[in-house]
Structure 1
Amino acid sequence: MPHSLVLNLLPQSPIPSQFLTGRHLHALFLNLVSSVDRELGDRLHDSGADKAFTISPLQAKLNHTNRTRISDHTLQWDHEKPIPIGTPCWWRISLLDDTLSSKLTQLWLNLNPAQPWHLGPADLYITSIFGTPQLTQPWANATTYTQLYEQASDNERQIALSFCTPTNFRQGNFDTALPTRECVFNSLLQRWNKYSGISLEPNLTEVIFPSFFNIRTSLAADSRSKFIGCVGEISYRIMGNIEPLIIKQINALANFALYCGAGRKTTMGMGMIRRMNMTKNNFD
């Protein structure tokens, strides 16, 4: 059962920018897991382990931003300055199977708001957790794979996706930042088949064509590496005389994108995408 949880956080001391990278937030997630199941946390730390989760970059509710945004839907993934003490922040964690969600349910149900969690030298308090849809927080949600499939439309041909953090795909020995239909939907399909238990057709991309796009490449970097990915919006359209079953399966994958993301380094905040409503080429 996929969950998209939003943790609201309050730093008790400034968070230096060098501790706001994906690998530090990845480590914070593993500490959360280890607090309820040390063996599971150690297993997830193994580079070859099945990582049925994604995380977002930390989002600070500041009155300014350190970068130019391509749209209102992109998130902040680079921090040139420390996050000040007492700044409300939020952080998205998605869980793709029941093993992780059942373990972490113990943590959420017994959450001590006075217990600090550590991000580098900074202490953070988890003040609340959103696990269901919120008017002001589109990243919070929960469903089952059966519901995702059954509720998917079998006649909606427009698929509008927003790439909210840099998204990059592996092709052979190299990376590409171009979100082709094959890269995007095969990535979604691979994760769907891995966790859902509901088999979909293997060649769905042949009927999907881009109809609108407003994208650019963007860089995410830390002291160890640089990651070039795509951010922005693309609308794909299902073309041709296609049976409703195929349309339904493509729509199920598009709805699944909120939980699983796409491409590389989704466990470090990259590849966050979600479906948008689109009318006259405007995302609502």
Structure 2
Amino acid sequence: MVRRAKNKVNQPTSNSDWPLETELVGLEFELVTKVDVSVYPQYTIGLHAWLLDQVRLTDPELSAYLHDGESEKPFTISALDGELVSSGKQLKLFANQTYRWYVTALSARVVQWLAQWLKNLPSEVSLRNAPLQILTCNVVLAPTTYAQLLNAEHGNNLSLRFISPTSFRRKGHHLPLPVPVNVFHSYLRRWNDFSGMPVNQDTFLAWVDEYVIITRHQIATMKVLAGKKGAVTGFTGAVEFSLTKEAVEQSEFCQLLYALGKLAAYCGTGHKTTFGLGQTRLGWSLQVIADVPEVESLLASRIEELTEIFTAQRKRTGGERTSEIASKWATILARREMGESLQVVAEDLQIPYETVKTYAKLARRALKVE
């Protein structure tokens, strides 16, 4: 059933009818701008902030929980899917072109909030200097529960498509490879947080390491911006996982493995999934994944270059919190070099303006020392 919001002009349509017991769902928003507009390369920060602000306005208690860094995040967002091209130091969106934006919920609490919110869906997504009109909002990942995922039928293989750059953290570095233990650990963390059916992590991952193999893949790597600060090297493409014969004969975890594979589309893979990274879909496809726009790639490379410089310097001087500070300095300076104001950078990073100003000065001074 399609519902139309009332009492507003040019309101989008939305489809938000799903069972009350739903714990997972994926939505697709169709967005359009009436004129050509430009957005900054890290615009997913704005999408993330806009969605959380919608939660804050309607459910402050849920908003506080979503800002809590102590648990896995029960939602994901994508970047915009559509024609974005580099235009100077920004990205250009074209008038009357449809852009798709995906949002998923991984817990009953967030699903319930979405159901209420969609009954009075805002008319636009307010991205800085680029208001995007919401045309429609539709369910694209079927409403389901964790128990239904666990009890669903499965085959002998599991294929996944990684449609936005995906990366893992390993020993303080980024790992842009679909190593089975890393991939399924990513899903298991969400499963243990939200399913109500937690599984012993060490035991399951040891089983994955022993019995799960990659039977084919087609992947590529690229540098990309990583949420509020920093850059990562991530991979995109398709991967097919299979179980060895011994695993099939000892099937204690087989059902769970395939349930986690189905969960992947809802929860994403790896880190920074609430800023557009790690978007994942079921099934094999050789469809070419869109390249990262040149301006975004350039900014990501510059942030990575500066991070390495500042990290090396702070290690020599015995600086504390080396990685975190180096990443902040690099992000601030790189974005300033791209022409963004320090005030805007401070707002995006949620750091006081005076602190950002100080970091920028220290970063410039550090470069002269180098």
Tell me, what secondary structure is at the counterpart of 2:116?
Answer: helix
Residue pair 1:258, 1:272 contacting (<8 A) in 2 also: yes
After superposition, the C-alpha distances for 1:45-92 in whole angstroms (9 at most, x for unaligned) are 4555652111000112x4xx759xxxxxxxxxxx96310222211110
Distance in 2 between residues matched to 1:116 and 1:158, nearest whole Å: 41
The match for 1:228 is 233
3-state SS, counterpart of residue 270 of structure 2: coil
Q: Go from structure 1 to structure 2 and tell me whether the alpha carbon gap of 1:111 and 1:34 turns closer, same or farther (over 3 Å shift).
A: same
User: Aligned partners of 1:89, 1:19: CA distance in 2, in Å?
Assistant: 16
CA change 1:19–1:177 in 2 (3 A) is: closer
Structure 1 range deviating more: 172-181 or 240-249 = 240-249
Structure 2, unpaired ranges of 5+ = 1-22, 288-370
Distance between the aligned counterparts of 1:9 and 1:188, measured in 2? 29
Distance 1:109 1:12 in 2: 24
Match for residue 83 of structure 1? 93
| 57 and 169 in structure 1: CA distance in 2 versus 1, 3 angstrom threshold | same
| SS in structure 2 at match of 1:16 | strand
CA contact 2:39–2:129 (8 Å) conserved in 1: no
Specify which structure has the bigger relative contact order, considering alpha-carbon pairs within 8 angstroms and separated by 6 or more residues: 1
Q: 1:123 aligns with which of 115, 118, 131?
A: 131
Q: How far off is 1:172 after superposition?
A: 2.8
Q: Which of 86, 107, 114 is matched with 2:117 structurally?
A: 107
Greater shift in the superposed pair: 3-12 or 254-263:
3-12
CA distance in 1, matches of 2:160, 2:66: 29
2:109 & 2:40 partners in 1: Cα distance? Answer: 32
Q: How does 1:234-253 map to 2 (within 5 A)?
A: 234-241=239-246, 242=248, 243-253=250-260
In the aligned structure 1, how far is the partner of 2:85 from the partner of 2:127?
A: 21
Instruction: Report the alpha carbon displacement of residue 173 of structure 1 after superposing the two structures with TM.
Output: 2.0
Map 1:32-47 → 2, pairs under 5 A: 32-47=54-69
Structure 2 CA distance for aligned equivalents of residues 54 and 173 of structure 1: 23
Partner residue, 1:25:
47
- What is the aligned length? 255
TM-score of the aligned structures, taking structure 2 as reference length:
0.63
Partner SS, residue 82 of structure 1: strand
AA matched with 1:211: T
Q: Which protein is bigger by CA-based radius of gyration?
A: 2
How far apart, in 2, do the equivalents of 1:142 and 1:80 lie? 36
In 2, Cα distance between equivalents of 1:224 and 1:16 = 21
Report which of the two has the higher share of helix.
2
- Poorly superposed stretches of 4+, deviation over 3 Å: 12-15, 45-50
Aligned amino acid, residue 147 of structure 1: Q
TM-score by length of 1: 0.81
Answering whether residue 264 of structure 2 is matched by residue 260 of structure 1, we say: no
CA distance in 1 between counterparts of 2:85 and 2:212 reads 36
Report the counterpart of residue 96 of structure 1 in structure 2. 106
Q: What's the CA shift string for 1:91-144, capped at 9, x where partnerless? A: 1001110111112211102225xx33310112222221111x4xxxxxx32211
- Give the Cα–Cα distance (whole angstroms) in 2 for the partners of residues 101 and 258 of structure 1: 16
Counterpart amino acid of residue 105 in structure 1: A
Residue 215 of structure 1 pairs with residue 223 of structure 2: no
In 1, the alpha carbon distance for the partners of 2:42 and 2:29 equals 16
The alpha carbon displacement at 1:192 in A equals: 1.0
CA distance in structure 1 between the partners assigned to 2:35 and 2:212 by the alignment: 48
| Per-residue deviation, 1:240 | 2.1
Unaligned runs of 5+ in 1: 68-78, 134-139
Q: Considering only aligned residues, what root-mean-square deviation do their CA atoms show, in Å?
A: 2.5
How do residues 109-258 of structure 1 correspond to structure 2 at under 5 angstroms?
Answer: 109-112=119-122, 115-131=123-139, 133=140, 140-153=141-154, 156-200=155-199, 202-203=204-205, 204-205=207-208, 206-221=210-225, 224-241=229-246, 242=248, 243-258=250-265
**Which one of the candidate residues 17, 26, 32 is aligned to 1:4?**
26
Q: How far apart are 1:273 and its partner, in Å?
A: 1.3
The answer to whether the 8 A contact 1:157-1:247 is kept is no
Paired-residue identity, %: 27
